[in-house]
Chain A
Amino acid sequence: LAKTTQPISMDSYEGQEVNITCSHNNIATNDYITWYQQFPSQGPRFIIQGYKTKVTNEVASLFIPADRKSSTLSLPRVSLSDTAVYYCLVGGEGFKTIFGAGTRLFVKA
Chain B
Amino acid sequence: EAGVTQFPSHSVIEKGQTVTLRCDPISGHDNLYWYRRVMGKEIKFLLHFVKESKQDESGMPNNRFLAERTGGTYSTLKVQPAELEDSGVYFCASSQLPGHPADFGTEAFFGQGTRLTVV
Q: Do A and B come from one complex?
A: yes
Given contacts A42-B112, A43-B91, A44-B110, contact A89 B33 (CB under 8 A): no
On whether the beta carbons of B33 and A95 are closer than 8 Å, the reply is: yes
Q: Is the interface of A mostly helix, strand, loop or mixed?
A: loop
Name the one of A41, A90, A95 contacting B99, with C-beta atoms under 8 angstroms.
A95
Residue ID in chain A nearest B44 by CB atoms: A98
Min CB distance B104 to A, Å, is 5
Min CB distance B34 to A, Å, is 11
Total count of chain A residues near the partner, CB < 8 A: 26
Given contacts A42-B112, A43-B111, contact A96 B43 (CB under 8 A): no
On whether the beta carbons of A94 and B56 are closer than 8 Å, the reply is: yes
Is the CB of B39 closer than 8 A to any CB of chain A? no
On whether the beta carbons of B58 and A96 are closer than 8 Å, the reply is: yes
On whether the beta carbons of A95 and B42 are closer than 8 Å, the reply is: no
Is the CB of B29 closer than 8 A to any CB of chain A? no
The 8 A CB mask of A14-43 against B (1 = contact, 0 = none) is 000000000000000001111010000111
Is the CB of B59 closer than 8 A to any CB of chain A? yes
C-alpha gap A89/B45 in the complex (Å): 13
Is the CB of B100 closer than 8 A to any CB of chain A? yes
Name the one of A31, A43, A98 contacting B112, with C-beta atoms under 8 angstroms.
A43
Residue ID in chain A nearest B33 by CB atoms: A95
Residue ID in chain B nearest A91 by CB atoms: B102
Chain B residues, CB < 8 A from A97: 33, 35, 43-45, 100-102
Is the CB of A92 closer than 8 A to any CB of chain B? yes
C-alpha gap A95/B43 in the complex (Å): 14
5 cross-chain pairs, A with B, having the tightest CB-CB distances, nearest first: A92-B100, A43-B110, A89-B102, A99-B43, A34-B102
Residues on B facing A (Cβ under 8 Å)? 4, 33, 35, 42-45, 48, 55-56, 58-59, 91-93, 98-104, 107-113
